[in-house]
Amino acid sequence: MKLKIGLIALVLTGVISCRPESIVPETESLKDSPYDLILPTHFPDIEFPDDNQLTTKRVELGKALFFDNRLSRDMSISCGSCHFQEFAFTNQLNVSIGVNNRPGSRNASTLANIAYRNRFMMDGGVPSLELQVMAPIHDPNEFDFSILEVASRLQNDDALQELSIAAYGREIDPYVITRAIASFERILISGNSHYDQYVNGNTEALNDAAKRGMELFYSDRTSCGSCHSGFNFSDESYHNIGLTENYEDIGRARITLNNSDEGKFKTPSLRNIMLTDPYMHDGSIENIDDVLLFFNEGSNPHKLKDERIRNLNLNANEISDLKAFLESLTDKSFIFNPVYLP
């Protein structure tokens, strides 16, 4: 089904990518301005699409749409129904629940720092954040709707129309909806955890256990940092970690149609990992202690399992130190940031 959604998104690219001239002359009251997005000093710059530079009105419109239940067929759920700020924009369910309580197929990923990700969905089947907006809308187990029907439903909302014209110079349509929601999601920046404070020079930000755990995390003994690498703790690649011997969801192989990609999923960011349980693409591991045990024991056998996943033989103290380091990745200023509230 995800592959089908990806194909729908690509077909609709032609619908939303051709931008005509502004339909309404700009007036003083409609003028927009660049959004003042302040990034952590140790984060790289964000590359914004040429046709979707970040502005105040675009973010404002995107936030309104992100929390708008009218994007789903029965008007029961919104993007915010599966991505809660207090859980680092996840929902603490095994899989997301769509209209009419239909179970989705995968665990909801965090939206923290999504502006930096290079492809979207756990199998990398969607090439841009703008196109990703359409995936849940068209998924029959999520919003069970279409981007064209959403646009039609919103046509009579005067407040949204005014924002749309101010932000994009045109009335609300699929082009505006996808780009506005993507704009709001790009401001969801998490980079002020105790770990970040330590990286930025505060040597007291981490306790001794977290420091030991960090050393272990980046050591050749565990190889954790080889996949969970960089400032966002992800190599942006796909790996089979031996979650199971037989994958019902074949992951990356659904996109590439290559059997060698069976069971491979994108490396998730570990930022705010203590808030985003349950874990794995199907939510099959309930808590962080079980995750650490799973990797310490070398996971399950699979012919395509990444060779770095092996029995680590860590003792209880070492596992506790690793957990302390993961706890240091929680960014309270992110989950309590009032800017993200509807």
Low-confidence ranges of the chain (pLDDT < 50): 1-28
Q: Which residue from 311, 306, 273, 282 is spatially nearest to 294, judged by alpha carbons?
A: 311
Q: Which residue has the tokens 């002020």?
A: 192
Q: How many residues does the chain have?
A: 342
Which residue stretches of 108-202 are H helix?
A: 129-132, 134-138, 147-154, 158-168, 174-186, 194-199
pLDDT at 14: 44
pLDDT at 29: 52
CA–CA distance, 253 with 13 (Å, rounded to integer): 23
For 101: left if phi > 0, alpha if psi spans -120 to 50, otherwise beta; the answer is left
Q: Which residue from 175, 153, 148, 150 is spatially nearest to 164, judged by alpha carbons?
A: 175
pLDDT at 30: 61
For 128: left if phi > 0, alpha if psi spans -120 to 50, otherwise beta; the answer is beta
Dump pLDDT digits (tens) for 1-45.
434 444 444 444 444 444 433 333 344 456 899 999 999 999 999
CA–CA distance, 70 with 248 (Å, rounded to integer): 32
pLDDT at 159: 96
Asked whether the domain spanning 194-335 has the same topology as the one spanning 2-43+52-189, the reply is yes
Which residues are bridge partners to 238 per DSSP? 266
146 Cβ contact list (under 8 Å, min separation 6): 137, 138
List the structure tokens of 331.
Answer: 């960014």
CA–CA distance, 46 with 48 (Å, rounded to integer): 6
Domain residue limits, the chain: 2-43+52-189, 194-335
pLDDT at 71: 98
Which fold would CATH assign to domain 194-335?
A: Cytochrome Bc1 Complex; Chain D, domain 2 (1.10.760)
Type of residue numbered 153: R
pLDDT at 9: 43
- Beta strands 238-239 and 265-266: pairing type? antiparallel
Which fold would CATH assign to domain 2-43+52-189?
A: Cytochrome Bc1 Complex; Chain D, domain 2 (1.10.760)
